[in-house]
Structure 1
Amino acid sequence: VPNASSRYFLVGTNQAQTKHRVLKIDRTEPKDLVIIDDKHVYNQQEVWELLGRLDLGNRTKIGQKGSSGLSRSLSAFGIVGFVRFLEGYYIVLITKRRKMADIGGHSIYKIEDTSMIYIPNDSVRVTHPDEARYVRIFQNVDLSSNFYFSYSYDLSHSLQYNLTLLQRPYELWSSPTSSAEEEVQKQSKHDSFDIFEDEGLPTQVVYGLQSEPYYKYVWNGKLLERVKDIVHRDWLMYIIHGFCGQSKLLIYGRPVHITLIARRSSKFAGTRFLKRGANCEGDVANEVETEQIVNDASVMSLTAGSYSSYVQVRGSVPLYWSQDISTMMPKPPIRLDQADPYAHVAALHFDQMLQRFGSPIIILNLVKKREKRKHERILSEELYPAVINLNQFLPPENCIEYLAWDMARYTKSKLCNVLDRLSMIAENVTGVLRTNCVDCLDRTNTAQFMVGKCALAYQLYALGMIDKPKLQFDTDCVRLFEELYEDHGDTLSLQYGGSQLVHRVKTYRKIAPWTQHSKDIMQTLSRYYSNAFSDADRQDAINLFLQVYQPSESRPHLWELPTDFYLHQRNTMALPLDRRREFMPKTVGVDPSPFTVRKPEETGKSVLGSKSSKEETLLQRKTAASAPPPPSEEAISSTSEDDSEDDRDDDASVSQRSTPIKLLTESGESTRTQEIQQQSVKEPYGLNLAEFPAAKDLLIYEREPVSCFPEDSIYSLSPPQVDRDSREEFESSVLTGRGQVRALCREDMLMYREYVKNRYM
């Protein structure tokens, strides 16, 4: 309910309209967000009296009925959050919803439509020319496309976690006068925006499985961060992005719900070619947690019903890698961007998984092993040693299990059945399975379906629905489950790759109709078009929606950034400015920031010529990430134009970019050069080089052998002396390798007899 000039009033109510809360939002602040929550719970009569008083008090003239102080703006089903660009704050509200699933009486909704309302009134609005562009980018994230919420069920957590809340003490959200048993009985009745249900109960009681969400899978966490500690928790509604579908299966008249929930990670989120591998915090691209829940639908209660849940994960290979799309081609070359010899980023990623799921974590790597030209297997050749390295620091019972299988190669073989092999893998999975190929789309979805099909059989068996944990293809149950997984795969593929699945379960079963081939070609073209022309805009929208990038007058605009690398690699910018300076060369009296505008007298020459300051700043931004630090004046004067070419060899580039330090000086000029160089060494490294080594240092140097070779130089080499026994042992090994076994001596026979005695007697 808005007041035209000064305030917005949000009235939240439960479905029965028996309990209400009120938020007051100030509209006179041009850029700040001022929200007041009195934390009071109103009944229906009290809230109408409150609105009546507000209406009467805000009329232009007392008693004038034609000019109301309040007018109804719109009805909504929840608050997505609050966002600000370069002007004032907006509020994003859910105006349409559709019920997608029911878990123990807790409804799960899909957002169908939203409304974005500007909060400050026109009289205080300070317009900015780029505001409208940011709004368009933000709205490019279609909230009506696969965003889900629930008023009483935490979608960011798995069913196993949420069921543990039923066993926890309720002191955090209940009053001392109500027992935990009463609250559990009431929880399943809640189905509305507010978290209040029946009359007569204490106002502090919260019905529903509410806890601190797992923010990795929450997509509006940053949008609610500004009001999280101001308003009552009933106003906070967290949404997930991914997929939610539910199918009803009748087993001899007994209803069973099969629910599939996919949670897409909001960390290192983005589109296919623009987000690959992992960031420095261990978050990987296209990471999705898929949970399948099976329950007896005849009992709609979490406390009385029977439930089973199975979770598996997909995600990009946890390494620093990418694909260059500057020259667009169907398969851009895979490149490893950074050396990670100690598997640090993989360690962070699997540490997250172990904390969330426990052990064992099982990796199913489906990338190709044999290729004419090395492409996909670059990733396996890095991932496998990383897992081996990490496992040496884990107890044997908690080690990460690694299984690599070239699914694409087996698909081409006429003798191998891909799905049978996946069934064998699924039967042996005893923990959380992490599946990946290169894109984590087509191959991954089929593998996850086969593992899910195996798990479904065990779930139905555990619930007493079938007499043995086996399900056959071409049954109604598996057809229904396959359709659910196909919808799940299409949705996730559209979000990350820009098209639906290209290869489906029917493709790998080799029963796909001929019309499917032409459809596959169209999906491939659609994916290629999306990657080439629309992914950059989608990535900007995701960065803005997740508030990875927050607009400011003091920083470049989102569309001016040459890369979003630093937005998703927070650790690189975590150090304060004074600490960052320790890791870069310094010049006395000069700000080392690559974004500082230099005067010609500071650099020795004008680097950017006569460009405007805006163009100059932009050009500096585009080159700062890849350009080396600016050389000193000596290096500039000694480097010719030809030496600055990019194709010179590494040794030449090193010698030209660094000025050697002269320890022995003869002229005053050289002495001055040495002083400057030693000063520059002192600042970043904290030491000065002495003109001559101390006598004790020379004694240590002379005492330590440089090499075991008596003569060792670039011109001649004398090998070290080898004793006779060593030479005979070496010659014997060489002869044995050639099949020429030497005659056995007495010692050999005695050793052999001792071995036989100990081994077999």
Structure 2
Amino acid sequence: MKPLHQRLHLYTEGDDTFIFVPVDDGIDTQSLTIHRASGDIVLNRPNTPIPTYAKRSQRTIYGIAGLISLSLSEYVIVITGRELKGRLMGHEIHRATDFDILPLNPSVSVHNPHHPVEAHLLALVRSHLRGGNFLFAYGWDITRRLQAQWESQEEAAHKALWEMTRLIEANDPDGHQDLSTFILPIMYGTFDLRPTFVQGRNLQLCLISRRSRFRAGTRYFRRGIDHEGNVANFNETEQLLLVEGPTTPGAQRISDNQFATKLSFVQIRGSVPVFWAEVNTLRYKPDLQIMDLQETADATKKHLLSLISVYGNQYLVNLINHKGYEQPVKEAYERHIAELNLPNVRYEYFDFHNECRKMRWDRISVLIDILKDDLEKEGYFRLDAAQAGPVKVQQGVVRTNCMDNLDRTNVVQASLAKYTLNLQLRELGILSADAGVDDFEGFSKDFRELWADHADAIATAYGGSGALKSDFTRTNKRTRKGALEDGLKSVLRYLKNNYFDGARQDAFDLVTGNWIPRKNPAAALFLVTDARPLITRSVPVAASFSLFMICAGLTLPRTSGFRSGNHGKGLKDNFGIAKRARWLGTTRSRVGVDHIELAEMKKRVD
């Protein structure tokens, strides 16, 4: 696999070019030039001298993330800060912590653009980069699961990690324009690794989640499926177990990339694959809409066939409530699955809230008992250092969903992962047939924290707060304290989903290419102006201020010792009126709601 440049120096040649020069890359260094006027990307000949009047940036570049086109200019996004998250099989895994945005148009200022539309778009890009969890590695493909990497190892031996459209379009490996060493694959997801010790064996337990760039977005603005078969909040989660061979007491520990056995277990999650939506109305539960379209069966089929081609057999675990608010989504899902009747697809409904009511979370074992034969049959991926090929391959995956694919899904996925981890450790002879992960407190604690932190990260990216029910994942018990914390998280989600997620969704659509800005910023003034009447725009502000004053009146201490006989009656009357009033305002995304859902909109990812 071709190596990537780990550090670059940036030179600016007046208003003409950006020149990226690899640092410590040997004698045949090839620099990369981006011409600002034309946007052309050119790989220079080895050892091409830097122009004498080019000015070098003081900041080190750790990778080129790509190019994005806004209204007034194209911009190069570069990584200027990184944090080491761990070493996996000898390779460093980094999180991008800081970015720079470089305009190709020399007349455009990134920090003070002369048009409000461009300023708004740049603010969206910055907020997305600042709020996302972007991971990358220079020598190991973190974007693909271990089994997929092994299956394509011969084909990929002389290829780059990618295979940023803007840089890829300029790449010509058969000619003289091989840009592969500059193209850095970046993943939006999570990574955590814990070294541990069990029964005299050194282990590493790693958890990686990879969030799909298709139909990406926030909780209420991205639900269900699109016409291409992509679903909202789709995540692939891989649990890796790396095991050293038996060692004698006092023996020196081998290096990070030498393990006797490597094991991988993959699960997936995604929104219910039918056309449905939830429309914010400022009520706690938004309006639920099921779109019964003729195209639903075709879109659902595309989705499932795509999963089968990538992962093998599909076990669909549905955790949605069978009555009440969620019932229509469950019924639509089951109707289309039954009509399609696809081979290699098995559907399993688990009434999560009913089975686990009154904090009986141990009842998840009922679902494990239903699935355990299939889990053992489909298996996991295993490589042994002593063998040329894999000992086992994973032939199918469990696809879990609840309404949001967050809280209930996290609990079930962690339980399935623990069951499989026990199988793996018993097969390796590290645990006896009647022992389990929970019998080793240190190892069990690492496992629980690994999954709980992963759950919080996915929930924050999609729902705006940490995961609910995470106390069970962290402690193996559902507690009243955890239930209270869930109430606070639910309030935080309500506020973010109703008041802030419109802008977050705009940023997702802009960066992933689902919405492409017009080149004439004057035609996009709707992005920064609100044409609604003043009285309509003021309703949320007035309502919020009224609620604040009510809460302040109920909670702030009184400063006077004198109380009249009628003290407090006015407040009670006002509060009663406030409780009976209905808020009629709605929130919406400010960037082209009429545009971002069009199936024919051109997509481009830089």
Alpha-carbon distance between aligned partners in 2 of 1:454 and 1:132, rounded to the nearest angstrom = 50
Q: Answer yes or no: is the 8 Å Cα contact 1:80–1:224 preserved in 2.
A: no
Alpha-carbon distance between aligned partners in 2 of 1:453 and 1:508, rounded to the nearest angstrom = 13
| Partner residue in 1 for 2:421 | 456
Deviation sequence 1:246-281 (CA, Å, 0-9, x none): 111112453211111101111111100111111111
* Residue identity in the other structure for 1:537: A
Once superposed, what is the RMSD of the aligned Cα atoms?
A: 3.0
Equivalences for 1:587-598 in 2 at 5 Å? none
Alpha-carbon distance between aligned partners in 1 of 2:126 and 2:88, rounded to the nearest angstrom = 31
Q: CA distance change for structure 1 residues 414 and 143 in 2, over 3 Å: closer, same or farther?
A: closer
Q: Answer yes or no: is the 8 Å Cα contact 1:114–1:144 preserved in 2.
A: no
| Partner residue in 2 for 1:21 | 30
Deviation sequence 1:457-506 (CA, Å, 0-9, x none): 22333444333385243632222111100000000000000011121252
Q: 1:361 aligns with which of 297, 308, 314?
A: 314
Alpha-carbon distance between aligned partners in 1 of 2:302 and 2:124, rounded to the nearest angstrom = 32
Q: CA distance change for structure 1 residues 458 and 571 in 2, over 3 Å: closer, same or farther?
A: farther
Q: Answer yes or no: is the 8 Å Cα contact 1:222–1:547 preserved in 2.
A: no
| Partner residue in 2 for 1:378 | 328
Q: CA distance change for structure 1 residues 509 and 10 in 2, over 3 Å: closer, same or farther?
A: closer
Identity %: 24
Q: Secondary structure at the match of 1:136?
A: helix
Q: Secondary structure at the match of 1:281?
A: coil
Q: CA distance change for structure 1 residues 302 and 463 in 2, over 3 Å: closer, same or farther?
A: farther
| Partner residue in 1 for 2:364 | 419
Q: CA distance change for structure 1 residues 26 and 222 in 2, over 3 Å: closer, same or farther?
A: closer
Q: Secondary structure at the match of 1:528?
A: helix
Q: 2:338 aligns with which of 388, 395, 408?
A: 388
Q: 2:299 aligns with which of 320, 323, 345?
A: 345
| Partner residue in 1 for 2:575 | none
Q: Secondary structure at the match of 1:343?
A: helix
Q: Secondary structure at the match of 2:500?
A: helix
Q: Secondary structure at the match of 1:541?
A: helix
Q: CA distance change for structure 1 residues 462 and 22 in 2, over 3 Å: closer, same or farther?
A: farther
Q: Secondary structure at the match of 1:376?
A: helix
Q: Does 1:559 align with 2:566?
A: no
Q: 2:285 aligns with which of 325, 331, 340?
A: 331
Q: Secondary structure at the match of 2:129?
A: coil
Query: 1:558 Cα shift?
Result: 7.3
Q: CA distance change for structure 1 residues 488 and 481 in 2, over 3 Å: closer, same or farther?
A: same
Aligned residue pair count? 495
| Partner residue in 2 for 1:267 | 214
Q: Answer yes or no: is the 8 Å Cα contact 2:308–2:344 preserved in 1.
A: no
| Partner residue in 2 for 1:487 | 453
Equivalences for 1:89-108 in 2 at 5 Å? 89-108=74-93
* Residue identity in the other structure for 2:372: E
Q: Answer yes or no: is the 8 Å Cα contact 2:17–2:35 preserved in 1.
A: yes
Q: 1:320 aligns with which of 261, 270, 275?
A: 275
Q: CA distance change for structure 1 residues 75 and 333 in 2, over 3 Å: closer, same or farther?
A: same
Structure 2 unaligned runs (5+)? 1-10, 245-252, 379-395, 529-589
Larger radius of gyration: 1
* Residue identity in the other structure for 1:132: A
Q: Which has the higher contact order (CA 8 A, sep 6+)?
A: 2
* Residue identity in the other structure for 1:367: I
Q: CA distance change for structure 1 residues 223 and 376 in 2, over 3 Å: closer, same or farther?
A: farther
Query: 1:148 Cα shift?
Result: 0.4
Q: CA distance change for structure 1 residues 461 and 26 in 2, over 3 Å: closer, same or farther?
A: same
- The answer to which structure has the higher strand fraction is 2
Q: Answer yes or no: is the 8 Å Cα contact 1:271–1:495 preserved in 2.
A: yes
Q: Secondary structure at the match of 1:157?
A: coil
Alpha-carbon distance between aligned partners in 2 of 1:251 and 1:18, rounded to the nearest angstrom = 47
Query: 1:570 Cα shift?
Result: 2.4
Q: Secondary structure at the match of 2:56?
A: coil
Q: CA distance change for structure 1 residues 425 and 38 in 2, over 3 Å: closer, same or farther?
A: farther
| Partner residue in 1 for 2:236 | 289
Q: CA distance change for structure 1 residues 119 and 556 in 2, over 3 Å: closer, same or farther?
A: closer
* Residue identity in the other structure for 2:93: I
Alpha-carbon distance between aligned partners in 2 of 1:323 and 1:222, rounded to the nearest angstrom = 32
Equivalences for 1:248-647 in 2 at 5 Å? 248-296=195-243, 300=255, 305-325=260-280, 327-340=281-294, 343-358=297-312, 360-369=313-322, 371=323, 374-391=324-341, 394=342, 398-413=343-358, 417-428=362-373, 429=375, 430=378, 431-468=396-433, 471-473=436-438, 475-506=441-472, 511-553=477-519, 556=524, 559=527, 564=593, 566-571=595-600
Q: Answer yes or no: is the 8 Å Cα contact 1:460–1:469 preserved in 2.
A: no
Query: 1:233 Cα shift?
Result: 0.7
* Residue identity in the other structure for 2:40: V
Alpha-carbon distance between aligned partners in 2 of 1:116 and 1:280, rounded to the nearest angstrom = 33
Q: Secondary structure at the match of 1:473?
A: helix
Query: 1:242 Cα shift?
Result: 1.5
Alpha-carbon distance between aligned partners in 1 of 2:476 and 2:179, rounded to the nearest angstrom = 55
Alpha-carbon distance between aligned partners in 1 of 2:320 and 2:118, rounded to the nearest angstrom = 44
TM-score normalised over the length of structure 1: 0.60
Equivalences for 1:208-287 in 2 at 5 Å? 210-213=160-163, 221-222=164-165, 224-225=167-168, 227-229=170-172, 232-287=179-234
Q: Answer yes or no: is the 8 Å Cα contact 1:280–1:569 preserved in 2.
A: no
Deviation sequence 1:105-150 (CA, Å, 0-9, x none): 2222111111112233349999545221211111110346411011
Q: Secondary structure at the match of 1:156?
A: coil
Of stretches 103-112 and 434-443 in structure 1, the one that deviates more from structure 2 is 103-112
Q: CA distance change for structure 1 residues 164 and 537 in 2, over 3 Å: closer, same or farther?
A: same
Q: Answer yes or no: is the 8 Å Cα contact 2:84–2:93 preserved in 1.
A: yes
Query: 1:381 Cα shift?
Result: 1.2
Q: CA distance change for structure 1 residues 444 and 558 in 2, over 3 Å: closer, same or farther?
A: farther
Q: Secondary structure at the match of 2:225?
A: coil
Q: Answer yes or no: is the 8 Å Cα contact 1:353–1:361 preserved in 2.
A: yes
Q: CA distance change for structure 1 residues 509 and 329 in 2, over 3 Å: closer, same or farther?
A: farther
Q: Answer yes or no: is the 8 Å Cα contact 2:117–2:527 preserved in 1.
A: no
Structure 1 unaligned runs (5+)? 59-68, 174-209, 214-220, 575-761
| Partner residue in 2 for 1:12 | 22
